[in-house]
Structure 1
Amino acid sequence: MNTSDNARLPLPPLDEAYLEETLLQLLAIPSPVGLTDAVVRYVAGRLDGLGIPYVITRRGAIRATLRGQERHPARAIVAHLDTLGAMVRELKDNGRVGVVPIGTWSSRFAEGGRLTLFTDTQQIRGTCLPLMTSGHAFGDAINAQPNTWDNVEVRLDLPLHSRADLAGAGVHVGDWIAFDPQPEVQPGGYINARYLDDKAAVAVLLTACKAIQDSGAPLPVDVHPLFTITEEVGSGASAALHGDIAEMVSLDIAIAAPGQATDERAVTICLQDLSGPFDYHLSHKLIKLAQAHGIEHRRDVFKFYRSDSAAAVEAGNDIRTALIGFGADASHAQERTHVDSLRALGQLSVAYLLSDPVARRDRQSMGSIEGFTEQLKPEEMQVNTTPLPDPQEFLEAKD
C-alpha cells in the first residue's frame, strides 16, 4: 500500500470518548521528570487493555509493538510521559521551602499554583508563593519583585515555622514537587490544563493505536509506539530505540503564538526546531498525507524548542525524524488546546501508520546509491520563466 493508495481509503475512526478519558486520567497522575513510575504503570495498563505487547526499560521508557506485514524498515511514533515540576533546594528558617525547577519554565507560572510535595514517606499539599505575597503587608513592593525562582517559596499546609519543623515533617532537600494540572474541558471543545505537553499527545497516540487495533487495518511495516520519560530535560528518545527503526515521528505540543503559523484547531507539521531541520522526505510525506485526507494542518518552525527526535539523533541513531503536534497556546504555562487539534493529530498519526515507509532502501542502514531518495527532481519542479532584468537597463535607470 503506497501513500496514494492509502489516501483513497477512509481512515479508521478515533474513539474520542477514549481520548478524553485517557487525557484526564493522565493529567491526574503526577509525573515530573524523575517521578514517572506511576504514569508508566498507567500507560502499560492501557496497552494491556488494547492487547498491544510492550517492553519497559530499566528506568521506565516503554516500547510497544504493532506488527506489520513486513518487519523492516520499522518505524517509531513517540510521545513523552514526563512533565515539568520542581524540587526542594532549601529548608528555610521561616518554615517554608525554596525550590528549583525541573525542566525549563518560568517561575511566574508557578506563583499561586497548588501542589503536592513528595517526601520519603508522605505527600504534603501546599502552594507556591512569591516571597512578598500580601499587599496588606508589603504594599506596592509586591509588584517590584523579580520573576525568578529565587523569589518564590512553597508554603506547606502544616504548622511549620522553622527549618527544624520542616525536618520534623520529613521534608528534605531533593524532594519532588508536582503542581496541580487544573484541567478544564469546555463544551465548545477548548481544553485548559498544565501539562498538556505532552499528556495530550500521549492520549492521542494511545487513541491512534486503539483505532488501528479496533479496525484490524493491516500495517505495511512494524510500528513501535514509544513513551519516553525524560524529554523535558533533553534525553527523551535516546532510550528505547533499536537498530531496526528507520524513521520516527514525535508527537508533541506545537506553539501557537505571534509570529508562528500554528493554530489551536489544527495539527502542526514542524519543519525545523532548535536542533535543526527534520527529515525532508518524512516531513513532506506527512504534509501529503494531511492534504490527501483533508486534515486541517499548518507548517511551522520553532526557534526555542527541541523534542524526542533531537535526542534520538544526538544519541547517534541514523534515523529519519519528523515532528507533528497539537496546536496549543501558552506552552509550559497554563496551556490551552482544542479537541479539533487533538483529532487532527490523531488522524494524521493513523494515516502515517497505515502508509508505506519513506524508502524501502531504509531496510538497511548502509547501501549503494541505488534506491537513494531524491529531494528536488527537475522534471517535477515548476520553473519560473520570468526573464531576469537587464543589468544595463538597471544602471541606466539608476543614473
Structure 2
Amino acid sequence: MNYSELYIVKELVDLVNIPSPSGFTDSIIVYLDSELKRLGFSPRRTRKGALVVEIGGRGNPIVLAAHVDTLGAMVKSLKPNGRLEITNVGGFTMNSIENENCIIHSKTGKTFSGTIQSISPSVHVFENARSLERKIANMEIRVDEELKNAEDLQKLGIEAGDFVSFDPRANVTKNGFVKSRHLDDKASVAVLLDFARRVSEGKVTCSRKTYLFFSNYEEVGHGASAAMPDDSEEIISVDMGAVGDTLGTDEYVVSICAKDSGGPYDSTVVRSLIETAKRVGADYSVDIYPFYGSDVEASLRAGYDVRFGLIGPGVEASHGYERTHYKALENTLKLIEGYIGN
C-alpha cells in the first residue's frame, strides 16, 4: 500500500505544512473552507475565526470538534545582537524546539526563515553549552539574514508580536508511519475531512444531525468556548491520544479518554464509544490523561449543556516531534463512522 496516496494521509501532510500557531490560523481555515466546499458542503466562519459545517443527518445533533491551531511562538523583542527573543504560544519543552528551523511571519506579509537555538549554542565556545537551563529566557531565533543589531531587524520589518511557526518536517514512511510536528491535532482534522468526504460520496450516511467544528484556539485553552451550534446535544472532541508511561494507547489505536485534567468524561458517552468500537472492530484503548485538556472542556466551562466525550488517534511524543500510524487514523475513522453513521 502506498500510504502517501491515501486521501487521509495526503490531507494530513498538507495540513501540517500550513503554518497555524494559535492566533495565526486564517490560512488553514481558508484551506478547510475550500476543501469542504469542494466536497459539496456549506461551511461558515465564526466571528472568532473557527469553522463549522453541517454534513448531514436529522435529530439528536452531535458536534465533532477538532482543532487546527498548533504550538508556536511570537517575537517578544529585537535583541541588540540581531537575534529575536521569543515567547511561547502553547505549552512545550524548550528542548523539543531547540535547533528547529522556523519561519517568522511579519505583519507586512513577508516571511523570514530562521533557527531556534539556545543563547549558548556551541560547545566550542560556551562553557555552559551543555549545562545551560533550557527555558524560554535562554532561547533565541537566529534569522537567516545578514544582521548585526536590532536596527537591522527593524529594517526588515520584523517587530514584536510577529508569529513564529515551527518546521513540521513531515515524513510518511513506507510502512505507514507519519512523523511530523503538529499531529496534535491535525491528524484528527484529517480524519474528520475523510469522514466528510465519505459522507459526500454516499459511502456513509449520518444517523443523526452532524456538525464538524474546527476550532482555532485550543492550544491556549479557549478553542471551543463559543459559537457551537445552538441545537448541540453532544460534543465529541476528536484530539490526539497520548502515548507513554502506563497508558494503554499506542500509535495504532483510537484512544477513548475516560478522564483527563478536567475530570471524568460523560460515562454514558464513554460506554457507548467502547461498545461501538467493539461492534465495528476498531482497535481501541481506554485511558486516563492526567496532564491533558480538550476543546469540549472549554465548551463546558462556557456553559454548554451537552453530553461530552474525547477520542483520537494515538500520537507518540506529543508536543514534540510526533509520530502516529495510518492504523490509528483508520481506527479513529472507523469508530466515528460506527458511532454516527448508518
TM-score when scaled to structure 2?
0.96
Note if 1:262 corresponds to 2:230: no
Q: 2:205 aligns with which of 189, 206, 218?
A: 218
Q: Tell me the distance in 1 between the aligned counterparts of 2:154 and 2:51.
A: 36
Q: Which residue of 2 aligns with 1:287?
A: 274
> Is 1:44 equivalent to 2:33 in the alignment?
yes
- Provide the TM-score with structure 1 as the length reference: 0.83
Counterpart of 2:137 in structure 1 is: 150
Q: 1:20-169 to 2 correspondence within 5 Å?
A: 20-68=9-57, 70=58, 72-121=59-108, 122-139=110-127, 141-169=128-156
**Separation in structure 2 between the aligned mates of residue 217 and residue 131 of structure 1, nearest angstrom:** 54
Distance 1:32 1:218 in 2: 34
Return the letter of the residue paired with 2:29. V
Matched-pair contact (CA < 8 Å) for 1:290–1:348: yes
Give me the whole-angstrom Cα distance separating, in 1, the residues matched to 2:190 and 2:315: 15
C-alpha distance in 1 between matches for 2:288 and 2:203: 35
Q: How big is each residue's C-alpha offset from its partner over 1:13-67, in whole Å with a ceiling of 9 and x where there is no partner?
A: xx97111111111111100011100000000011011111221112321110022
Stretch moving more, 103-112 or 207-216: 207-216
Equivalent residues of 2:61, 2:210 under 8 A apart: yes
Choose between structure 1 and 2: higher helix proportion: 1
Within 2, Cα distance between the matches of 1:217 and 1:102? 38
The residue type paired with residue 327 of structure 1 is G
The answer to whether the 8 A contact 1:226-1:240 is kept is: no
- Contact (CA 8 Å) 1:81, 1:227: kept in 2 or not? yes
How far is 1:168 from its partner? 1.5
SS of 1:35's partner is coil
SS of the residue 1:206 aligns to? helix
RMSD: 1.3
Matches within 5 A, 1:183-194: 183-194=170-181
Change (3 A) 1:291 1:184: same
TM-aligned CA deviation for residue 220 of structure 1? 2.3
Query: % of aligned pairs identical?
Result: 36
- Structure 1: distance between partners of 2:333 and 2:137: 40
Post-superposition offset of 1:213: 2.0
Q: Deviations over 1:310-348 (max 9, x none)?
A: 011110001011000111111000111111111101111
How many residue pairs match? The answer is: 338
In 1, Cα distance between the equivalents of 2:250 and 2:105?
A: 37
Query: Deviation per CA, 1:167-218, whole angstroms, max 9, x where unpaired?
Result: 1211111110001100011111111100000111100111011112212543
- Report the residue type matching 2:17 in the other structure: A
- Structure 2 counterpart of 1:200: 187
Give the conservation status (yes or no) of the 8 Å contact 1:212–1:350: no
Give yes or no for contact 1:208–1:347 (8 Å, CA) kept in 2.
Answer: no
Stretch moving more, 211-220 or 296-305: 211-220
Structure 1 ranges of 4+ moved more than 3 A = none
For the residues of structure 2 that align with 1:244 and 1:16, how far apart are their CA atoms? Answer: 37
Q: Is the 8 A contact 1:262 1:299 kept in 2?
A: yes
**Cα distance in 2, alignment partners of residues 353 and 209 from structure 1:** 12
SS at match of 2:141: strand
For 1:287, give the aligned amino acid.
I
Distance 2:203 2:325 in 1: 28
Between the aligned partners of 2:205 and 2:88, the Cα distance in structure 1 is 44
The answer for the alignment partner of 2:309 in structure 1 is 322
Is contact 2:76–2:86 with CA below 8 Å preserved after alignment? yes
Q: How does 1:331-370 map to 2 (within 5 A)?
A: 331-354=318-341
- Indicate how the Cα distance of structure 1 residues 202 and 158 shifts in structure 2: closer, same or farther if over 3 A, else same: same
CA contact (8 A) 2:172 2:179 kept: yes
1:101-149 CA-partner distances (Å, limit 9, x unpaired): 001111111110100001122101000011111111124x211100101
Matched position secondary structure for 1:44: helix
Q: Which AA in structure 1 matches 2:40?
A: G
Letter in 1 for 2:302: A
Whole-angstrom CA distance in 1 between matches of 2:157 and 2:203: 52
- The C-alpha deviation readout for 1:207-238, integer Å capped at 9, x for no partner, is 01111221254322210011010000011111
Q: Offset of 1:262 from its aligned partner?
A: 1.0
Amino acid corresponding to residue 279 of structure 1 in structure 2: D
SS in structure 1 of the partner of residue 130 of structure 2: helix
SS in 2 for 1:326: strand
> Of the candidates 178, 189, 193, which is equivalent to residue 165 of structure 2?
178
- Report the 3-state secondary structure (helix = DSSP H, G, I; strand = E; otherwise coil) of the residue aligned with 1:73: coil
| 1:138 aligned counterpart, secondary structure | coil
Contact 1:197 1:252 in 2 (8 A): yes
1:274 aligned onto 2:253: no
Q: Tell me how far 1:73 sits from its aligned partner.
A: 2.1
Looking at structure 2, the residues matched to 219 and 98 of structure 1 have their Cα atoms a distance apart, in angstroms, of 49
SS of match in other structure, 1:327: strand
The question of whether the paired residues in 2 share the 8 Å contact of 1:326 and 1:345 is answered with yes
